[in-house]
Every structure is written in C-alpha cells, then in structure tokens.
Amino acid sequence: MISKNMKKIFEIGLVPLIVLEDAQDATPFGQALVRGGIPIAEVTFRTDACLDIIRAMKTTLNSSSVLARCIM
C-alpha cells in the first residue's frame, strides 16, 4: 500500500528542493508552490535559517508535505 504522501509525489511528478537564505521568503515561496499545484517541498539543511524555513513552510503547506534532508 502506498502512503498518501508518496501517492501525492507520484501524482505531481516531482518534489522541489528548497534552499533559502531567509525564513521570511519561505511563506511567499510556499504560497507560490501551492498556487502552482505543487503542495509539497523538500528543505535542505544548507543554511542557518533552515529550521525556521521548515516551520514557515509547514504553516503554508500541509505539515505532512514538508520534507527535510541533510546530506553530509
């Protein structure tokens, strides 16, 4: 059985990888994604603001549609 999140990813066909420097940009960016039909995002841990960006994106997008990743 496929999870709801995986089904959404397959339907959309992509997961945008988000790298923002300023958490204030997260809400308008997330709103633009939703308006464009992409209610999911992956936020990388590349900036000091990443946790604040994730929090803001969770508010804008469905909280289950924000993914976080750290690659070392």
Per residue in 14-36, pLDDT (tens digit) is: 988 889 999 999 999 988 988 89
In 3D, which of 67, 58, 65, 70 has the Cα closest to residue 26? 58
The pTM of the full predicted model, rounded to 2 decimals, is: 0.77
Residue spans of the domains in the chain: they are 4-69
Q: What are phi and psi of 37, to 5 degrees?
A: 85, 15
Q: Tell me the C-alpha distance between 33 and 3, whole Å.
A: 21
pLDDT classification of 42: cutoffs 50, 70, 90: confident
Q: What are phi and psi of 17, to 5 degrees?
A: -95, 120
pLDDT classification of 70: cutoffs 50, 70, 90: low
Tokens of 1: 């059985």
